[in-house]
Amino acid sequence: MRIALFTETFLPKVDGIVTRLKHTVEHLQRQGDEVVVFCPDGGLREYKGSRICGIPGFPLPLYPELKLAFPRPLIRAYLEEFKPDLIHVVNPAFLGVSGIYYSKVLNIPLVASYHTHLPKYLEHYGLGMFEGVLWELLKAMHNQAVINLCTSTAMQSELSEHGIERVEVWQRGVDTDLFRPELASSEMRSRLSQGHPEAPLLLYIGRLSAEKEIDRIKPVLEAIPGARLALVGDGPYREELEKHFAGTATHFVGYLAGADLAAAYASADVFVFPSRTETLGLVLLEAMAAGCPVVAANSGGIPDIVTNGVNGFMFDPADEQGAITATQRLFAAKTERELMRRSARLEAEKWGWAAATGQLQQFYQKVLLEASLPLAA
């Protein structure tokens, strides 16, 4: 198959969507498919054998890490040269609109996928009054597709309830070769804890942005005697968070990648994740693959990953004491924590990227088959 992938975000940006797309492109190319990626220009021209068509853009005012790239005539020239069998638009917003448009103009079957819960993000940026309008825009774009993919059963239900049609779940995936428990190290633990490896160590990895609700970790940190918190990642909310956590034992680590990132997961005692806007929560799977017990909000796609009391704890996001109680329980019962580490790893081992990409290929083949069938009289 020849696939034109349109995405609003790609390398060199670091987030869960880019992680999924990187592995997807790599596995598709490995299986003999050809992929061209249309994305805001980040300086790359190739990834794992896939051509990158970078479209000039500018930073999003509320989120400078994201670039807005709008449709341009050169996209049609790229598509006519590549001659894709199908177009896949990821989180269509700006650049994705051109993918939708050219799928109609050039009569190319369209697949769309939903990864970022944008309507719920609005309230964290003081724009909650536009949620209804955004749902209507999303519905108008997604319903152009032959199939719409999302990453959890919770999102499948919510998208369907808001009028988005033909929704299927694209299964989760995680790199279990990279993220594994044996990468735990005293050196990384000392680095994360700023020289206090004996202290209880809480960990958050991901974007430092308002919708992640990282500020809600502070009461948890303060409730665990002698605990320290490592925040790995960066983003537009970092300055606010530095003020919020001032005077606490919190270390803003910055970005980590590869073996360092995997070692960070494996070296912590608990991964705390308060976000209520997750369509999946890939970092939770990475933590679990590394054998790090998770404490996460019972919201969005998280219940598809975490089995409460087995491979982690979930808490009611409306209960301010929920995350505190769950984290205290983990530290109070060492045996239970060790059992949870093993169960977390076993759960993650079920979800390799090869299987997730194989399922995606089946969706693609289904779309191409439907496109080849004659129209009913």
Mention every residue, 6+ apart, whose C-beta is less than 8 A from residue 303.
Answer: 154, 314
Number of domains in the chain: 2
Task: Say if residue 46 is in the same domain as residue 155.
Answer: yes
Q: What is the mean pLDDT of residues 131-141?
A: 88
Examine the pLDDT at 376 and tell me if it is beyond 60: no
Instruction: Say yes or no: 112 and 52 in one domain.
Output: yes
User: Range of 10's domain?
Assistant: 2-173+352-372
Taken in order 139, 140, 142, 146, the sign of the CA dihedral is: positive
- Half-sphere exposure of residue 28: CA atoms within 13 angstroms, side-chain side: 27
48 inside domain: yes
The whole model's pTM is what? Answer: 0.77
**What pLDDT digit, counting tens, does each position of 328-348 carry?**
999 988 888 899 999 999 999
* 198/323 same-domain check: yes
**377 domain-assigned:** no
Tokens of 351: 């979800």
155 and 290 co-located in one domain: no
Residues in the chain, total: 377
Would you place residue 377 in the very low, low, confident or very high pLDDT band (cuts 50, 70, 90)?
Answer: very low
CATH number of the domain within which 137 lies: 3.40.50.2000
Q: Which residue has the tokens 């021209």?
A: 45
Same domain, 327 and 365: no
**Percentage of residues of the chain with pLDDT beyond 70:** 93
| Residues 62 and 140 reside in one and the same domain | yes
Nearest to 347 by CA among 297, 287, 301, 299: 287
* Model pLDDT for residues 93-106, shown as the tens digit of each residue: 889 999 999 999 99
Report the pLDDT value the prediction gives residue 122, as an integer from 0 to 100: 58
User: At residue 375, does pLDDT exceed 60?
Assistant: no
Residue with tokens 């990648």: 257
Would you place residue 121 in the very low, low, confident or very high pLDDT band (cuts 50, 70, 90)? Answer: low
Q: Which of 287, 288, 270, 248 is nearest to 329 (CA)?
A: 270
Answer yes or no: do 162 and 95 share one domain: yes
| Same domain for 212 and 314 | yes
Nearest to 38 by CA among 2, 60, 8, 14: 8
Domain match, 166 and 286 both: no
Residue 358 lies in a domain: yes
Provide long-range contacts, Cβ within 8 A and 24+ apart, for 236-244: 236/62, 236/63, 236/64, 236/65, 236/208, 236/209, 236/210, 237/208, 237/209, 237/210, 237/212, 238/208, 240/210, 241/208, 241/214, 241/215, 244/215, 244/218
